[in-house]
Structure 1
Amino acid sequence: MDILLSLDGGLTYPITLATATPNDGSQTVQVPNQQTTAARVMVRANGNIFYDISNTDFTIAAPTSPDYTLAVTNSTGTACQPGPAAYTVQVGSILGYSDPVTLGTSGLPAGLSASFGTNPLSPVGSTTLTI
């Protein structure tokens, strides 16, 4: 699947958010900091003619207050005993945000536990999540 972004109400789709991603019903994308009140998303089959477009315009606005971003590399994986699964967690800063961010997990199946190499984590930084 390809995921494209329009800034003009769907007249054009010049921004590629993801390409050749699996058709599994879920995808994380990073939206560029290009302000508009007429954004739309197109999801189309890679190398095919089938597609769908969001039904209404949405707004992309600049941040107005400091905040943080959170990203996880390889956000899906398999944990099999005795070996753990490890993920890199990155905390970023928006508009100079610098307060430590406390990380946590929830919804783990019975018998699994999670730990972070560094917690809390100050932006801009990264740590390892081990499950």
Structure 2
Amino acid sequence: MERTAGGPLTAFGVSIVLTGACLLGAGLDLLLVSTAAWALTGLFLAACGYTAAKVRRSDWYSAVVGPPLAFACGLMLVAAFSPHDMGSGLMGAMATILELLAIKARAVFLGTAVALAVTLARRLPFRQR
């Protein structure tokens, strides 16, 4: 049996893939619409599924804990470079992050649920080896 490209991801690899996908999606959204939109959400969901499928069995927790943190990194990038409705400075950026998090809460929950479902499906005892 021939191995496909790439081995299992470590916890550090999971965080790099998730954060990279979220930052790339946030950058695309900033360039196209100047706020968090479809690119951040789409790349986030794809990265959640991919990392949960490729994570090492001993690092399964990183595929479940990492997605909300990576999404927050993407929202920080959007809040830093988008116009603030809540004022300027640090408080305006913090308020923008919280506003975007409230708007995109479904995406965070869905991505975490996808990662949890894939991780649990991989850990079921009746799978063939």
Q: Please, what TM-score do these two structures have when normalized by structure 1?
A: 0.32
Determine which structure has the larger strand proportion and give its number.
Answer: 1
Determine which structure has the larger helix proportion and give its number.
Answer: 2
Q: Please, what TM-score do these two structures have when normalized by structure 2?
A: 0.32
- Structure number with the bigger relative contact order (C-alpha 8 A, sep ≥ 6) is 2
Greater gyration radius: 1
